[in-house]
Amino acid sequence: MGMTGERTDRLAALRRARRNRPWTDELLRSCASDPAAFKAAQPACSACDRPCRDDEVCATAVAKSDGLFESMGRDQTYHLLAAGMKRLRARGTATLRDADRQRPNAFLSVTAADADSPEAPQ
């Protein structure tokens, strides 16, 4: 019952992701804290028709910025980022906008107060 190397890598990435779930919150916050600079640095953004607003970043660009599609696949990546976006929104530190369109269709903007404040202890 041998597993392929790729499957083993993906399972290891999923285990790491579950163990460190809040890393997605940190990634999202760091990308969204300076959306203009983030988008200027992303090749994915320069090739995009930019359905995002000036103060937003999309889940697709965040994923591509960190190579997440390659490390854990599209469905898992979008699932983890959507959960992270919802956690930030639930804390009142971000705004989440879902658009009725093909991806990119999930957009995040962080409130100014959260952009430069350290995470409050939970």
How far is residue 7's CA from residue 118's CA, in Å, rounded to a whole number?
36
Map tokens 């976006």 to a residue: 85
pTM of the model: 0.74
The CA-atom distances, in angstroms, between 6 and each of 11, 30, 43, 51, 114 are: 9, 29, 26, 33, 37
- Which helix (H) or strand (E) segment holds residue 32: the answer is helix 23-32
What pLDDT score was predicted for residue 20?
61
Note the pLDDT tens digit of each residue in 59-117: 999 999 999 999 999 999 999 999 999 999 999 999 999 999 888 999 999 986 544 44
Domain ranges for the chain, please list them. Answer: 24-115
The secondary structure of residue 49, as a DSSP letter, is -
User: Domain 24-115 falls in which CATH fold?
Assistant: Arc Repressor Mutant, subunit A (1.10.10)
25 vs 17, more confident: 25
